[in-house]
Structure 1
Amino acid sequence: MAVAIDLTLYCENARLVAEFWKTALGYVDDIPATEHAASEESLARFDLPAGGAEDDGVFLRDPEGNGPRFSVLRVPERKTAQNRLHIDVRVPGDGTPADRWERIRTEAARLVRAGGTILEAFDDHILMADPEGNEFRVTAFPA
């Protein structure tokens, strides 16, 4: 039996980064931030300081329940190195390689409007960063 996973992303501005990832993934809020801030148990579970503020953590989920839950948590330190884990945002659809590349370019443009940055384009994907520099790839499937 396969196990389920949750993903956690640490950042300086949880609200900003969570809004970007909600747009990128089509996710919705899982636990309202105010409920999280009020719950000492939740704060302890994620090793956040007691008496945390509303913007210390945002919890997201796939509205259809298929994808992993996604937590965005504020930490005091800045990102200083390359991610050890990155996310692939895969756009669906069949077609020729040119068709897939056009869908990749369209999705990257949408994510730029949401606050992302294009870092580099490759033959089969575009490397991007979210508003705090966390890197991810935009690609297509099947690939």
Structure 2
Amino acid sequence: MASVKQIQVTFDCAEPERVARFWCEVLGYVVPPPPEGFATWDDFDRSLPPEQQGSAFACVDPSGAGPRLFFQRVPEGKVVKNRLHLDVRAAAGLVGEERLAVLEAESARLVALGGTRVRLLPADEFNESCMVMQDVEGNEFCLD
């Protein structure tokens, strides 16, 4: 039996390119080259039937270590809390005030990109502080 070697994380959204470009900035990901025969992704997109234009976008980890992120247009908007979310490890290994300072700085950077700060979850006896945020379409993620 073969085992899975890679995963892709897929986001349902209204504006795939907008959401993808936000996550490129968050994670330091890049847009992969367009398919062979096309100079740009815009050229490729224009080659699709009108109803499929702008319906998908992707970004990749330039090091090849992280999963590919795929963004697909869906007709319905987000209605409830995510059942799955990303933890963006901005302050891994840090504790206390040093951790809070890094979380605050990264939160400010992401808000400037169009993200939304939802709330700070303060440290308790089991977990260090983390911050709940939303991307440009309201998908929750944590700064950890």
Instruction: Please give the per-residue CA displacement for 1:60-85, whole angstroms capped at 9, x wherever unaligned.
Output: 10011110000011111111111111
Q: Please tell me whether the aligned partners of residues 31 and 59 of structure 1 are also in contact (alpha carbons under 8 angstroms).
A: no
* Structure with the largest fraction of helix: 1
What is the aligned partner in structure 2 of residue 138 from structure 1?
143
What is the aligned partner in structure 2 of residue 107 from structure 1?
106
**Where in structure 1 are there 5+ consecutive unaligned residues?**
41-48
Alignment of 1:16 with 2:18, yes or no, is: yes
Which secondary structure state, in structure 2, belongs to the residue aligned with residue 137 of structure 1? strand
What is the aligned partner in structure 1 of residue 132 from structure 2?
127
RMSD: 2.2
Counterpart of 1:130, as a letter, is D
For this pair of structures, how many residues does the alignment match?
Answer: 130
**Where in structure 2 are there 5+ consecutive unaligned residues?**
35-40, 123-128
CA distance in 2, matches of 1:36, 1:86: 30
In the superposition, the TM-score normalised over structure 1's length comes to 0.80
In the superposition, the TM-score normalised over structure 2's length comes to 0.79
- Output aligned runs, 1:52-131, within 5 Å: 52-53=52-53, 55-92=54-91, 94-123=93-122, 124-131=129-136
- Output aligned runs, 1:25-40, within 5 Å: 25-32=27-34, 33-34=41-42, 37=45
Which secondary structure state, in structure 2, belongs to the residue aligned with residue 112 of structure 1? helix
Same amino acid, percent of matched pairs: 37
* Structure with the largest fraction of strand: 1
Deviation at 1:3, TM superposition (A): 2.9
CA distance in 2, matches of 1:121, 1:93: 16
Which secondary structure state, in structure 2, belongs to the residue aligned with residue 20 of structure 1? helix
Structure with greater Cα Rg = 2
Change (3 A) 1:4 1:121: same
